[in-house]
Amino acid sequence: MAANLNKVFLMGNLTRDPELRYVPSGTAVANFTVAVNRQYKDNTGEKKEDVSFIRVVVWGKMAEICGEYLSKGRPVLVEGRLKSRSWETPEGQKRSALDVVASNVQFLGGARQDTSSSKAPAGQGSREQEYIDVDQEPEGDDVPF
């Protein structure tokens, strides 16, 4: 019997504001992209930086919280699983993508210093955290991608 594990942890910054939508059943879904940097030295000893852009999908109440409190540039810690998807374009080309379906999103960094309409959750200290188990991905026609 083979063992299986599909677990992902990412820490990085949002590349854009989350996109919050609702599927026909009324379940919230948020999408955002996290930029994750890796620094290394090449064969000549020169410092290099590699950036990966990873799409994250969040469902349910956590999606609504992400849509309300997260914004471009905000650091986050995402815990979740990989989910592959494939589709065919109207031109007949096959496409595929690998996303992270988040089960936990922690907001990192201090409270916001700006006075925009988005505010950090009340009662949070210098390191904010929000945790809600959101492993309630809908099936079939409710999937928004």
pLDDT digits (tens, 9 = 90+) for 34-75: 999 999 999 999 999 999 999 999 999 999 999 999 999 999
The pLDDT tens digits for 73-99 are: 999 999 999 999 999 999 999 999 999
Name residue 105's beta-bridge partners: 78
Question: Which is nearest to 75 in space by CA: 37, 118, 107?
Answer: 107
Residue 117 has pLDDT above 50, yes or no: no
Go through the domains of the chain in sequence order and give each one's CATH number: 8-133 (2.40.50.140)
- Token look-up 């210098």 returns 126
Is residue 74 a contact partner of residue 65, using CB atoms and an 8 Å limit?
no
Asked if 58 and 30 touch (Cβ cutoff 8 Å), the reply is yes
Report pLDDT for 115: 39
